[in-house]
Amino acid sequence: MNTTDLFSLLPIGCSVGGAILCLIPIPWFERIVSLIASITAFLSAIYILVFLPDMTNSYVYIDGLSKLVLFTVALVYVSTVLYSLTYLKHIKNPLFKTRLYYLLLNVFASTMFFSVSMDNIGLIWVGIEATTVSSALLVATENNNATIESAWRYVIIVSTGLVISLIATTFIYGSSGTLSISQLMIYHPVNRVFLIGILLAIIGFGTKAGIFPMHTWLPDVHGKAPAPVSAIFSGVLLPVALYAMARVIQIYPSSVVTTFALTLGVLTVVVAALMMTVQENYKRMFAYSSMENMGMILIGFSLGQGGLLGAVIIIIAHGLAKSAVFFFTGDVLSTYGSTSMGDVKGLLGRLPRTAGGLFMGAMAVTGAPPFPIFIGELFIFAELIRQYGWGIAATVMLFLAIAFISVNFKVGKMIFTGGKLYPKEKAHKATWVPIVNLSLSLLSLFFIPYFEQFLHKFLIP
Amino acid sequence: MSIVYSLLELLFVLLLSPLFIGILNTIEERLESKQGPSIFQPYYDLIKLFHKEILVPQVSSPIYRLGPYVVFTFYLFLSIILPIITAFPLAFAPSADFIGGGLFFGAAAAIKKFSAIDSRSNYAHLGTSRAASIGALSEPITMLIFIMLGVLSNTNNPFVINQVLRSSSEWYFSLLHGFVTIAFFLVLIIETGQLPIESHSNAELGMIDDAIPFEYSGPDLAIYKWGTYMKKFILMSVFLNVYLIPFGVATEQDGLLGVVIYMGIHLLKLTGLVIVFALINTTVSKFRLYKNFDFLAVVFALAFLASLAYYIVRY
Amino acid sequence: MNYIFEIIGFILIVLTLLMQWEVYVTNIILLFSLSTVFVSTFLVLLGFSRPEGNYLLFVLAGLTLTIRGIVIPVIMSRALHRLYDKPWRVREDKPMMGVGGSILVSLVLIVLGYYIYQNSLYEVLKIRSGAVPFALFMQASLLIISRRHAYIQMIGFLVMENAVVMLSGWVFSGLPFVVEAGAILDLLGLVVVSSLIIRVREQAIMEEGESYESELRG
């Protein structure tokens, strides 16, 4: 590999370097190192995005889709590190020292970078399994019983799903003799074993992405994990698993596969929207909102062409907006001390910046215009109507509307009722991070034509 | 000529069955560094029992007295139809095949239990109910084992099965045969009442088969015990001759001398099996009562896996 | 070679059945490392039977034996020793169904696994004995579902991975070495991380007496 090829591995290298350097026991050193590592990873991701041509050699496969996802991962990584700098002191009774937290965060980011750039489906599997390993302890940062229970459920359910993916990888390898995405895109066998392998891979990776019916770990984990961890989960971990599913669908876009993925996506949206209406815990509610957006992304991937563009728009915009929302909920939790929506009142008077941000974020995440998630959903609906007619599209629109109403109603109740119940407090130091994220999410609206350029080769009908 | 063989087989089983139980007891005691009884002790016990008086409970019916004799007759019948000393069917062998043999064992067990219940004694009821619940599970397992082994040779004839296993090493080393042998060995432990199912003490907490003849006395008890010895002997012989070591059993060409020589070899084979039982008895401890049913579930699973192995491999 | 695969496959099924019978956690860990020994024996024999003398298979077998067969059970029993003061007495306290029932359900699942394989993949793959890893997979999922103790769930997951190794090794020509090695290392990391989580979880369950499913919802 020549030196320009090595640039593609730079984000992985930065975050791994940051992780190793975190081991040095100088106080405050790990935060500085993580910050530097995340910023350098971000810069290299920008370089890859803008300057690196689409490349593939025997290990790495980088094309428009992976560049965009890489960029999103890096961006959310930076914002999570920035937010964790000041959030960690709010966690009472942590399970391990902050040095281990930053180490795990860097390793987690590096495994996600790894999963997105690899050419070999087996290596993608290894990367996603490694994300489970490194994030399991992050979920359990706060040492109380329910959190540990949710961490254990996460480990077991996701690992079982990934074993199904491993079986799928075995089928794919056995029937086609190769696991390389670049070769499989050119030619793939059309027999039944390969088809079953692709379907099983969708199910297996779908467990990691929170697709119905394997989503049961998602609300538990998001309800109990600390805010930065929830942010990075919803923002990038779920899309990375969906990236793997997208590659698999792209390899074999037969009607069976796309119908299967479409059905799963629609069911995910339906279930998420229904469950959102009865939630009392705001973090769980936003977890179901993530699940709904993941369902929309899956629908987009399964449709292809215009739907693919919409899905990528949602990935980028949702990554930024949802991480911002979870950062805001971290603020709310550290101020009010409770995750139940009934206990949170008068947010507007107490933390006006957070309240405004949370309101905007909730609108953004559920797909209100002019936020780009709305535009992405429009693209997906256009493709859905073109390929499948009005029936399914109307159903999905109905459930999205249900989700929109329930989330915004509950958030509005948190923010606007209560009046002057509490005096105005000083905003938290890191509240500017989610505000930046949210504005970036809005600004990405203007970059949609550039996204289309990146994904050009997929959009040709 | 084959009537002579049948008579020889009958006398073989009748006269030598108490010997092996005696050998088992003695070896167990010797393994525990005790002197133990002499190997002929069961004979002395039987002879002693024949001299004692019979006491019959007032509330019992004639079934109570008839029971041991009927069971004894069943076992006598079984000893001349199963392959114990010969590899070829004798005069009465066509009366019942393998499954028929299994059903006869079941019938004998049922009659034992009926006559024991008839004595209206609490201990007999205890033993009968426990033996019945274990038997309800172990009898179908025995049936399954016999049927699965019959798949080998497409017949249910134990003699043909013996021949097939002796001549074809492919069947002998197959998975089906392995599973069935292990399952039958475990069933043998259950049926002959060795540890870990049943110990030889009279502790009420775990007595299963020892509690059934609690009320019998005198010659009735002697016949009952002799029947039990014969059952154990027959089952062990069937295990060895058909399942585990089908080699060397006397065939038609060997003549009378060959059959007699084989009787000696068979005694050695049985002694080997008895030593294995003694080793097991002195190493494991008794299961608590409800664990017996889990053990039976495992045995059933093994017998079932034999059928699965057959379907996967052969069909 | 077919014969050896069947024998080892059925031995693994019987060992997993015995795991269903066992209630004590240390015995289950022992049974698991015994079954891993059989899996690595199978890999070694597979390496011998391949004409091109694929030495990577031997390395993989050695890796499986050391990491999955020795290191992971040692880590788990060390964690058990640290958590409980009488580790040999640790067992599944509140089983969801009795031992006999779970053995029978396990048998039903084996038949189901065989049926599914027979009707779907057999026509394509034409290998009869591929049903054995499927049956093993379903048995392992029963182990995970029917037990509440976290160590036993972990062992169930590891048995599932063993079944996948058997499937890929026999029915197909195996996965590339990089992927398999990566899988093994991932497993190691998973077990290390899970030991920590399980330790805290079981401590909490020991103190309070039940797990916190209801508190998760609120």
ipTM: 0.86
What's the gap between Cα A372 and its chain centre? 16
What are the pLDDT digits (tens) for B252-270? 777 788 888 888 888 898 9
Query: Could you read off the pLDDT of A277-313 as tens digits, one per residue?
Result: 888 888 888 899 999 999 999 998 888 777 888 888 8
- A188 vs B51, residue with greater confidence: B51
Residue A3, chain C, CB below 8 Å: the answer is no
The reported pLDDT for the residue numbered A190 is 79
A314 or C131, which is more confident: A314
Say if residue C77's pLDDT is above 60: yes
Q: Distance from C132 to chain B by nearest Cα, in Å? A: 9
Q: Which residues contact B63 (CB under 8 A, 6 or more apart)?
A: B114, B115, B118
Which tokens hold the place of A28? 């405050």
Q: Where are the alpha helices (DSSP H) in chain B?
A: 2-31, 41-50, 62-79, 98-117, 122-153, 158-167, 169-172, 175-192, 218-238, 255-283, 291-313
Distance from CA of A105 to the nearest CA of C (A): 14
Range 175-194 of C in CB contact (< 8 A) with A: 175-176, 178-179, 182-183, 186, 189-190, 193-194
Q: How far C104 CA lies from chain B's nearest CA (Å)? A: 7
pLDDT tens-digit series, residues C12-66: 989 998 888 888 888 888 999 999 999 888 888 887 877 665 677 788 888 888 8
**Mean pLDDT, all residues of chain C:** 80
User: B134: which strand partners?
Assistant: none
Tokens of A43: 């810069």
> What percent helix, strand, coil does chain C show, rounded to 5?
85, 0, 15
Residue C213 has pLDDT above 70, yes or no: no
Closest partner residue to B293 (CB to CB) among C100, C107, C132 is: C100
Whether C216 sits inside 8 A of A149 (CB atoms) is yes
pLDDT(A53) > 80: no
pLDDT in tens, A97-148: 777 888 888 889 888 888 888 888 888 888 898 898 888 888 888 777 778 8
Q: Which of residues 323-352 of A touch C (CB under 8 A)?
A: 340
Q: Among C175, C195, C205, C207, which would you mutate to test the A interface (most chain A Cβ atoms within 10 Å of its Cβ)? A: C175
How does the average pLDDT of chain A come out, rounded? Answer: 83
Average pLDDT of the segment spanning B243-259:
78
pLDDT at C37: 92
Structure tokens at A160: 């079982």
Q: What is the pLDDT of residues A229-279, one digit of tens each?
A: 888 888 889 989 999 888 888 888 788 888 888 899 999 999 999 888 888
C148 or B269: which leads in pLDDT: B269
Handedness of CA B147, B148, B150, B151 (dihedral sign): positive
The packing angle between helices C150-170 and C25-49, to 10°, is: 10
Chains A and B touch (3+ CB pairs under 8 A): no
User: Can you tell me the distance from the alpha carbon of B30 to that of B310, in angstroms, rounded to the nearest whole number?
Assistant: 42
C212 — pLDDT class (breaks 50, 70, 90):
low
Band of residue B186 on the pLDDT scale cut at 50, 70, 90: very high
Mean pLDDT computed over A434-458: 80
- Would you state the pLDDT for residue C217? 55
Cβ <8 Å between C128 and B313: yes
Length of chain A: 461
Q: Which of A146, A173, A280 sits opposite C216 (nearest CB)?
A: A146
A382 and chain C: CB distance < 8 Å anywhere? no
Q: Collect all residues of chain C within an 8 Å Cβ-Cβ radius of residue A122.
A: 175-176, 178-179, 182
From A22-36, C102-116, C201-215, the region with the lowest mean pLDDT: C201-215
* Secondary structure of residue C142 in the 3-state scheme: helix
What pLDDT band is residue B70 in, cutting at 50, 70 and 90? very high
Q: Do chains C and A touch (3 or more CB pairs under 8 A)?
A: yes
> Which residues does C137 contact at the CB level (< 8 Å), separation at least 6?
A167, C113, C160, C163, C164, C167
Per-residue confidence (pLDDT) for residue C215, from 0 to 100:
59
Contact residues on chain C for A156, CB-CB shorter than 8 A? 144, 153-154, 157
Q: Where are the domains of chain B?
A: 2-313
pLDDT digits (tens, 9 = 90+) for B85-140: 877 777 787 888 888 888 888 899 999 999 988 888 888 888 889 889 888 888 88
Task: Give CA–CA dist A387/A389, Å, rounded.
Answer: 6
Quote the pLDDT of residue A353. 81
Q: What is the pLDDT of residue C93?
A: 67
pTM of the predicted model, to two decimals? 0.84
Top pLDDT among A2 and A262 is at: A262
| Cα–Cα distance measured from residue A440 to residue C179, given in angstroms and rounded to the nearest whole number | 38
Give Cα separations from A73 to A83, A108, A240, A338 (angstroms). Answer: 15, 11, 8, 29
Q: Which of A150, A191, A196 lies closest to C216 in CB terms?
A: A150
Residues 61-100 of A with CB under 8 A from C: 95
Contact B301 C106 (CB under 8 A): yes
Q: Is C106 on the interface with B (CB under 8 A)?
A: yes
- Looking at residue C214, its pLDDT comes to 57
In B, which residues are within 8 Å of C108 by CB distance? none
